[in-house]
């Protein structure tokens, strides 16, 4: 099915949001405005948005450390996400999660996980919930080529198969687990592993083409919603930045020619060219969209700057849902004022 | 009231919870066939057929593959999105297979997502110690999980508690781990037929006494009660306290009792190092040191793995004789001090 005019423009908008958000976050890490580190999805936007937009608003996602794109792709507003990266009280997790553990339940984002692969069973459980309650919702588990070698993926694919759960296992194969090339640690083709569980395995070679990803994942989502069970979709893509921002490795483990080739396949440039060539938008409209998104990011940073840091007492909130006797500010023995 | 076994009480609580709320599902290995005797219908410790499967259907009674990591993880994900799962993990030694999900997801998700998630999920497991099953089935791992903030830890020691605490666990919006001692499975006791819950963090005084407080956990509770009975004949008055839940822990009940008796023995079937007994001893040493008239004694399983041979295994766990000796020794300290 051909996406509507509005959907096509929304795809470009969300890809741009991820790109500009991550570019800004990268700068903020380098300037010391964001504590800790962040992992960007720059270069992988087609894969993220193509998958996220194949889902309905109420559907669920769970993901990993390369985390900002998933909720943005699902439609999450940028302000609370940026505030979370800085650790502000207005952050989407009130400053408790940070970049590695973003979650925005309002858009069905059940949380990113700092442990690769660890969120796959969570997405599987959400699919179980949908099945038992009969609410028609579909789950999608994002994971990388590195996590594809975690045993929990195969436990999850097996149980999703026998229970016929409405879930899509989405492998974001950016070809490197930190510095380790996927082919040196991965036997065979990831998509082929689906066959062992009696489910379809699809490999999207053109992972920089948002429509190719959207089509493949839409088919998997439709299948899940019809009650026909899970699908494994492997999308071949590339990250343009380092594994994490600020990471400096002595040796470049990525071949310069390979990198140049992939930089040519910038998903945002490719899709803009497509939209203009097909007469869906003019160059001027595309420029205006870019300016709008940049303004959204500026606004998210302004919102973040103006937000307070959390009160120290919040460190002891939300461990439990009830006032179970537990730690409190009184336990901060030796804490600096 | 009716007389029920510990195992039957768990089955009754599960049935009541399933009937009360359609969001409650039971998942685990061999739950359809009722192999462990808790999905078998009204108060029976075992049924010929999988009664729960007939009563509630395959949508809500779900056999799982032997895949602990995804069983635990999917129960967490289901709890975050509208179900209230009871997970039967059969033996507690198998919990280690799913440590990532327990520690990194169950315990942390609500906290690190800033309260967006609640995780109303119950994990049941049986501690199969004392039954000559060797090192891979005999663990008592509750202290490891006490060390993980965000989990609630429950250790029922009687049929009454097994039913009431399990119902409270299902009502809780937080992840609860229940450790059931197989040594207690056959224990019989009076259990109300109507629904009831026992609040977490409220210790039970099993027996009142004035000379020594014995805090006993899980299968050490009946052993401590038997020791107290014997010691009464020797003129030593023992107060036996069962905390029932280790997280949250009823610190006040323990401190109040030690405040009255001035002596503490803790009987805990877990390994000695970093045990529940260690924690309870520390609390009393920190907060009631002035009340102590003798050093605290711990009666625990020594820091060894569990051997197979009955002659090797049976000496390892806190039993009435060892508990009674510990009590006599702390009372002896008093007598020395007064002489």
Nearest alpha carbon to residue A123 among A55, A77, A53, A75 = A55
| Minimal C-alpha gap between B300 and chain A (Å) | 26
Judge whether residue B254 has pLDDT over 90: yes
Q: Which chain A residues are within 8 Å of B75, Cβ to Cβ?
A: 125
Q: What is the pLDDT of residues A225-270, one digit of tens each?
A: 999 999 999 999 999 999 999 888 888 899 999 999 999 999 999 9
Task: Give the predicted TM-score (pTM) of the model.
Answer: 0.96
CB B70 to CB A159 under 8 A?
Answer: yes
Interface of A with B in 43-62 (CB under 8 A): 60, 62
Q: Which chain B residues are within 8 Å of A101, Cβ to Cβ?
A: 112-113
Kindly report the number of other CB atoms within 10 A of residue B208's CB atom.
Answer: 13
Which of A36, A101, A155 is the best residue to mutate to test the B interface, defined by the most B CB atoms within 10 Å of its own CB?
A155
| Token pair of A148 as six digits | 């594809």
| Minimal C-alpha gap between B139 and chain A (Å) | 24
Residue in B with minimal Cα distance to A107: B116
**Residue B88: helix, strand or coil by DSSP?**
strand
| Minimal C-alpha gap between B263 and chain A (Å) | 25
CB B69 to CB A152 under 8 A?
Answer: yes
- What local confidence, expressed as pLDDT, does residue A330 receive? 60
Q: Which chain A residues are within 8 Å of B79, Cβ to Cβ?
A: 125
| Token pair of A164 as six digits | 């016929």
Asked if B136 is an active-site residue, the reply is no
Q: What is the pLDDT of residues A101-110, one digit of tens each?
A: 999 999 999 9
> What residues form DSSP beta bridges with B45?
none
Q: What is the pLDDT of residues B10-36, one digit of tens each?
A: 999 999 999 999 999 999 999 998 888
Calpha distance B170→B24 (Å, rounded):
8
Cross-sheet strand order for the sheet of A109-112: A109-112, A60-63, A139-144, A167-173, A231-236, A201-204
Backbone angles phi, psi at B250, to 5 degrees: -80, 80
Judge whether residue B233 has pLDDT over 50: yes
Interval A297-310 mean pLDDT: 98
Residue B37 or residue A75, greater confidence: A75
- What local confidence, expressed as pLDDT, does residue B265 receive? 98
Calpha distance B292→B265 (Å, rounded):
11
Average pLDDT over chain B, rounded to whole?
94
Q: What is the ipTM of this complex?
A: 0.95
Q: Which chain B residues are within 8 Å of A159, Cβ to Cβ?
A: 64-65, 67, 70-71, 74
- What local confidence, expressed as pLDDT, does residue B43 receive? 46
Residues sharing a CB contact under 8 Å with residue B315, sequence separation 6 or more, in sequence order:
none
Residue in B with minimal Cα distance to A131: B59
DSSP secondary structure letter of residue B137: T
Interval A286-295 mean pLDDT: 98
**Residue A285: helix, strand or coil by DSSP?**
helix
- What local confidence, expressed as pLDDT, does residue B339 receive? 45
CB A126 to CB B101 under 8 A?
Answer: no
Q: What is the pLDDT of residues B145-190, one digit of tens each?
A: 999 999 999 999 999 999 999 999 999 999 999 999 999 999 999 9
The active-site residue, picked from B137, B152, B167, B320, is: B137
CB A96 to CB B113 under 8 A?
Answer: yes
Using a pLDDT cut of 90, give the percent of chain A over it.
92
Nearest alpha carbon to residue A175 among A163, A164, A183 = A183
Q: Which chain B residues are within 8 Å of A131, Cβ to Cβ?
A: 59
Residue A333 pLDDT level (bands cut at 50, 70, 90) = low
- What local confidence, expressed as pLDDT, does residue A331 receive? 58
Q: What is the pLDDT of residues B179-220, one digit of tens each?
A: 999 999 999 999 999 999 999 999 999 999 999 999 999 999
- What local confidence, expressed as pLDDT, does residue A252 receive? 87
The kind and range of the H/E element at A170 are: strand A167-173
Interval A27-45 mean pLDDT: 96
C-alpha pair distances (Å), B297 with each of A325, B30, B266, B282, B314: 26, 41, 6, 11, 21
Beta strand residue intervals within chain B, DSSP E: 2-5, 24-28, 61-63, 84-91, 122-127, 152-154, 176-181, 188-191, 204-207, 212-216, 238-242, 245-247, 264-271, 297-301
| Token pair of A261 as six digits | 């080739």
- What local confidence, expressed as pLDDT, does residue B50 receive? 60
Burial class (CB in 10 A: 0-12, 13-18, 19+), B134: middle
| Minimal C-alpha gap between A257 and chain B (Å) | 39
Calpha distance A7→A51 (Å, rounded):
13
Interval A275-294 mean pLDDT: 98
Judge whether residue B294 has pLDDT over 70: yes
Judge whether residue B49 has pLDDT over 60: no
Q: What is the pLDDT of residues B296-312, one digit of tens each?
A: 999 999 999 999 999 99
Cβ–Cβ under 8 Å, residues B164 and B111: no
Using a pLDDT cut of 90, give the percent of chain B over it.
91
CB A125 to CB B251 under 8 A?
Answer: no
């Amino acid at each position: 099915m051909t996406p509507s005019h509005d959907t096509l423009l929304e795809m470009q908008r969300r890809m741009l949001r991820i790109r500009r958000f991550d570019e800004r976050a990268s700068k903020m890490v380098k300037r010391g405005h964001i504590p800790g580190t962040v992992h960007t999805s720059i270069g992988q936007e087609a894969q993220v948005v193509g998958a996220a937009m194949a889902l309905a608003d109420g559907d669920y996602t769970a993901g990993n450390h390369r985390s900002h794109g998933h909720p943005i792709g699902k439609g999450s507003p940028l302000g609370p996400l940026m505030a979370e990266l800085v650790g502000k009280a207005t952050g989407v997790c009130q400053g408790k999660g940070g970049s590695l553990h973003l979650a925005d339940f309002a858009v069905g984002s059940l949380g990113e996980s700092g442990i690769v692969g660890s969120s796959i069973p969570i997405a599987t459980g959400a699919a179980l919930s949908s099945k038992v309650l009969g609410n028609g919702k579909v789950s999608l588990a994002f994971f990388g080529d590195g996590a594809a070698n975690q045993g929990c993926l195969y436990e999850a694919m097996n149980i999703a198969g026998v229970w016929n759960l409405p879930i899509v296992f989405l492998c974001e194969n950016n070809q490197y687990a930190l510095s380790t090339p996927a082919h040196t640690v991965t036997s065979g083709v990831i998509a082929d592993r689906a066959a062992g569980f009696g489910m379809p395995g699809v490999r999207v070679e053109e992972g920089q083409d948002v429509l190719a990803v959207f089509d493949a994942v839409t088919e998997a989502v439709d299948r899940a919603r019809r009650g026909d069970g899970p699908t494994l979709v492997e999308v071949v893509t590339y990250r343009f930045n380092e594994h994490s921002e600020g990471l400096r490795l002595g040796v470049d483990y990525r071949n310069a020619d390979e990198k140049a080739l992939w930089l040519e396949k910038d998903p945002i440039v490719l899709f803009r060219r497509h939209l203009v060539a097909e007469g869906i938008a003019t160059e001027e409209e595309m420029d205006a969209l870019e300016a709008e998104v940049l303004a959204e990011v500026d606004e998210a940073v302004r919102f973040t700057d103006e937000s307070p840091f959390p009160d120290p007492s919040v460190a002891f909130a939300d461990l439990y849902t009830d006032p179970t006797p537990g730690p409190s500010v009184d336990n901060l023995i030796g804490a600096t004022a | 009231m009716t007389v029920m076994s510990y195992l039957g009480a768990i089955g009754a609580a599960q049935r009541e919870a399933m009937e009360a709320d359609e969001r409650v599902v039971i998942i685990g290995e061999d739950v359809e066939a009722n192999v462990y005797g808790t999905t078998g219908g009204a108060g029976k410790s075992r049924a010929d057929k999988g009664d729960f499967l007939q009563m509630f259907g395959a949508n809500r009674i779900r056999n799982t593959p032997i895949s602990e990591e995804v069983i635990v993880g999917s129960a967490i994900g289901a709890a975050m999105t509208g179900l209230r799962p009871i997970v039967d993990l059969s033996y507690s030694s198998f919990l280690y297979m799913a440590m990532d999900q327990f520690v990194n997801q169950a315990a942390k998700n609500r906290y690190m997502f800033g309260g967006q998630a609640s995780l109303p999920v119950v994990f049941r497991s049986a501690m199969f110690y004392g039954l000559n099953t060797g090192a891979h089935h005999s663990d008592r791992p509750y202290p490891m999980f006490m060390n993980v903030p965000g989990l609630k830890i429950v250790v029922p020691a009687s049929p009454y508690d097994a039913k009431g605490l399990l119902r409270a666990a299902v009502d809780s919006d937080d992840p609860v781990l229940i450790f059931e001692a197989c040594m207690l499975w056959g224990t019989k006791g009076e259990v109300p037929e109507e629904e009831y819950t026992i609040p977490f963090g409220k210790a039970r005084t099993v027996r009142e006494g004035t000379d020594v407080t014995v805090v006993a956990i899980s299968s050490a509770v009946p052993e401590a009660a038997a020791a107290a009975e014997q010691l009464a004949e020797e003129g030593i008055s023992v107060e036996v306290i069962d905390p029932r839940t280790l997280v949250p822990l009823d610190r006040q009940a323990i401190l109040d009792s030690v405040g009255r008796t001035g002596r503490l023995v803790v009987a805990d079937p877990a390994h000695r190092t970093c045990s529940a007994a260690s924690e309870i001893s520390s609390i009393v040493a920190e907060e009631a040191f002035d009340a102590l008239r003798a050093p605290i004694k711990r009666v625990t399983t020594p820091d060894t793995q569990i051997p197979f041979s009955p002659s090797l295994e049976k000496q390892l766990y806190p039993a009435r004789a060892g508990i009674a000796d510990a009590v006599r020794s702390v009372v002896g300290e008093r007598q020395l001090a007064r002489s």
